[in-house]
Each structure stands twice: as structure tokens, then as C-alpha cells.
């Protein structure tokens, strides 16, 4: 690329280019012009360098100020590092996914919403990257949510209770509609219609329309309320949040994004977020979160997004 190509460039593009061609005088001149073209550009540059440093792609002692001699921690290009980061993440997530595929009767992929009709006429909607195992007998109907989020519209059969097992909670219904989540932060049961009995290690609870029960990984139980019509709204690729920690919300958005999303900053990760986000464009949803939280969203490559709290 030449200095004339800088019109559409962003800070991350310049970082990659300057690293690839550190001795290109025309490139450095174009970069200087870009920095001077907008008062916001120097701050954008410093922020993206800090983000790369936090991800381990640049030397921790490197200056935020251009040019960047000795910026890269080890030989190679940032683009190559980005590919390695994706590969590492694939290794981390591939093993659990393979195990789930062996255990599960039904699974869903990234951004896939899957509708499943069970033998009794009940219908299950699987959110992206979710998995269930089904065990129906003459006296009971059992489903284990192995991972993710599922919405159940249960066919009435008083002789055979319908139970859904997650990690820390079991929800039982005869004929009703409800959602169960089994995610990193814990289990949640939310009722859209009817009545659901929920058992945890410490208590039993009877939930009716609009009730929700959350069981954290540590076993803590919290009962609250939700808007019934918003339960299962993700089946329309809409993710809802009401005072949800940003990290929890981003975990759900990751199910719709065929790449890697990083959240930088503990304070940002714990900030509460509220809204309804369209998952047909996960990057745009993250941009909205960034705006509402005073954060910045960086696209480091077509497959890596960083939500930076500064």
C-alpha cells in the first residue's frame, strides 16, 4: 500500500502496515498525514496499541507514540498473530464441542437457531451453539441441556412429567412454555406460560408466567421477574438485556459471531447493560454496547473484535 491508500484506513490498519513495512518512507508519510487529518486519530492510535499490548501482540514496553520501533514482541506480523489467536481459541473450544457432539442428540451451530419436534409433540428451539440430550420413557420425559439456551413448548401429558436438567437446576412442567439457560455464569429458568417447578441443591420453587430463577455457579439462588413476551426472543435473533453484566451479554453475542470477541477491562466487563440487540449483525450490536458503555470497539481482523474499556 502507498500513502495515497490511507483514506479508508483505521488505526489497526496502520499498525499492521507499519509493522510489515517499517522502512517504507511513503508509508510513514501517509501515516503522519492520517494522524494530522483528524484530532481523534492520535487517541485512536494510542488505544489500538494499548489493546494489542493487552492481548500480548506487542511488546509491553513499547511506546504508544509513532513510529513504533521494536513494537512486536517476536518476529512475525500482527496478521499472523491474529491467525494464531484464532487457532488457539479454536483449540480451546473444539474439545468441549466435540465432547458435546458425542453426548448430545441435537446440537446447533454458530448463529443457527434450530427447531426440534420431540416424539411427544413438544417443540424445542435451540439457540446458537447449544446442545440437548433426550430420554423419553413410559413414566417420564427428560431432557438434559448440555450447554447453551433452549426454549421448550411442552405438550401436556400429566402421566409423564417433562423435566429439563441443567448444571444446577431441574425444571419440571406438565404443559407450559419456558426457557432454560446453561451458561458459564450459571443456570436460569424463565416461564413464558403456565407453571414450572424448579429444584436446586438448596430449595424448590414454583414459577408462574413472568417468573425467573437464576442459580449461580457458586450455588446462590436469585428469583426475579421478566417480561414474558421477551422470553425466547432470541429465536428471532434478538438478544435482550436488563442490567446484565457486559461480559455476560457478550458471551451470548459470541454464539452468533464466527470469530473471536475479547472484552478488555474488568470494569467494563462488570458494567450493567440494558437493551435489545439484533444478532443479524453481531459487530453492530457490539458497537451499540460500546457506545452505551463509553467503550471502543476495534476490528483487528475480519475474525477478531475487541471491546475496549480504555
* Among candidate residues 170, 177, 171, 135, the one with its CA nearest the CA of residue 156: 177
Same topology, domains 104-232 and 237-308? Answer is no
pLDDT tens digits, 60-113: 444 555 544 444 343 344 455 555 555 555 554 554 565 666 789 999 999 999
Euclidean distance between CA atoms 43 and 213, whole angstroms: 43
Q: Which is more confidently placed, 58 or 130?
A: 130
Straight-line distance from the first to the last Cα atom of the chain, in angstroms, rounded to the nearest whole number: 30
What is the reported pLDDT for 1?
40
Does the CA dihedral 42-48-51-56 come out positive or negative?
A: negative
pLDDT tens digits, 215-269: 998 889 999 999 999 999 999 999 999 899 999 999 999 999 988 898 989 999 9
What does CATH list as the number for 237-308?
3.55.50.30
What does CATH list as the number for 104-232?
2.60.120.1440
Euclidean distance between CA atoms 266 and 179, whole angstroms: 29
What is the reported pLDDT for 102?
75
What is the reported pLDDT for 55?
55
Domain boundaries, the chain: 3-76, 104-232, 237-308
* CB of 288 closer than 8 Å to CB of 275: yes
What is the reported pLDDT for 168?
93
For 166, residues 6+ apart whose C-beta sits below 8 A from its C-beta are 144, 145, 180, 181, 182, 187, 189
What is the reported pLDDT for 2?
38
For 242, residues 6+ apart whose C-beta sits below 8 A from its C-beta are 226, 274
In the predicted model, what is the mean pLDDT of the chain?
83
Query: Distances from the Cα of 20 to the Cαs of 13, 23, 27, 56, 77, in angstroms?
Result: 11, 9, 11, 18, 6
Angle (CA) 59 85 237, round 5° = 130
pTM above 0.85, yes or no: no
pLDDT tens digits, 8-64: 467 777 777 777 777 788 888 888 888 888 887 887 777 767 666 655 555 544 455
* 212, pLDDT greater than 90: yes
pLDDT average, residue stretch 162-171:
96
* 305, pLDDT greater than 70: yes
Distance from the Cα of residue 164 to its chain's centroid: 23
Amino acid at each position: 500500500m502507498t500513502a495515497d491508500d490511507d483514506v479508508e484506513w483505521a488505526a489497526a490498519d496502520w499498525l499492521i502496515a507499519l509493522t510489515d513495512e517499517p522502512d517504507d518512507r511513503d508509508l510513514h508519510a501517509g501515516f503522519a498525514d492520517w494522524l494530522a487529518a483528524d484530532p481523534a486519530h492520535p487517541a485512536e492510535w494510542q488505544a489500538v496499541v494499548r489493546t494489542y499490548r493487552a492481548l500480548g501482540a506487542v511488546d509491553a514496553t513499547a511506546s504508544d507514540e509513532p513510529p513504533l520501533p521494536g513494537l512486536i514482541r517476536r518476529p512475525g506480523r500482527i496478521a499472523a498473530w491474529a491467525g494464531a489467536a484464532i487457532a488457539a481459541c479454536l483449540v480451546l473450544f473444539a474439545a468441549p464441542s466435540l465432547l458435546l457432539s458425542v453426548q448430545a442428540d441435537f446440537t446447533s451451530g454458530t448463529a443457527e437457531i434450530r427447531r426440534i419436534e420431540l416424539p411427544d409433540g413438544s417443540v424445542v428451539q435451540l439457540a446458537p451453539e447449544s446442545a440437548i440430550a433426550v430420554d423419553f420413557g413410559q413414566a417420564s420425559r427428560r431432557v438434559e441441556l448440555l450447554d447453551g439456551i433452549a426454549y421448550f413448548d411442552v405438550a401436556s401429558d400429566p402421566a409423564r412429567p417433562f423435566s429439563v436438567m441443567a448444571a444446577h437446576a431441574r425444571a419440571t412442567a406438565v404443559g407450559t412454555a419456558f426457557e432454560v439457560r446453561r451458561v458459564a455464569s450459571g443456570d436460569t429458568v424463565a416461564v413464558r406460560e403456565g407453571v414450572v417447578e424448579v429444584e436446586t441443591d438448596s430449595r424448590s420453587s414454583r414459577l408462574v408466567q413472568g417468573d425467573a430463577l437464576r442459580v449461580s455457579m457458586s450455588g446462590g439462588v436469585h428469583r426475579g421477574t421478566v417480561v414474558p413476551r421477551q422470553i425466547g426472543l432470541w429465536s428471532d435473533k434478538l438478544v435482550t438485556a436488563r442490567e446484565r453484566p457486559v461480559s455476560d451479554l457478550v458471551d451470548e453475542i459470541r454464539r452468533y459471531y464466527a470469530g473471536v470477541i475479547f472484552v478488555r477491562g474488568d470494569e467494563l466487563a462488570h458494567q450493567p447493560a440494558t437493551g435489545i440487540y439484533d444478532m443479524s449483525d453481531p459487530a453492530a450490536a457490539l458497537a451499540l454496547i460500546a457506545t452505551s458503555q463509553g467503550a471502543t470497539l476495534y476490528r483487528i481482523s475480519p475474525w477478531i473484535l475487541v471491546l475496549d474499556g480504555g
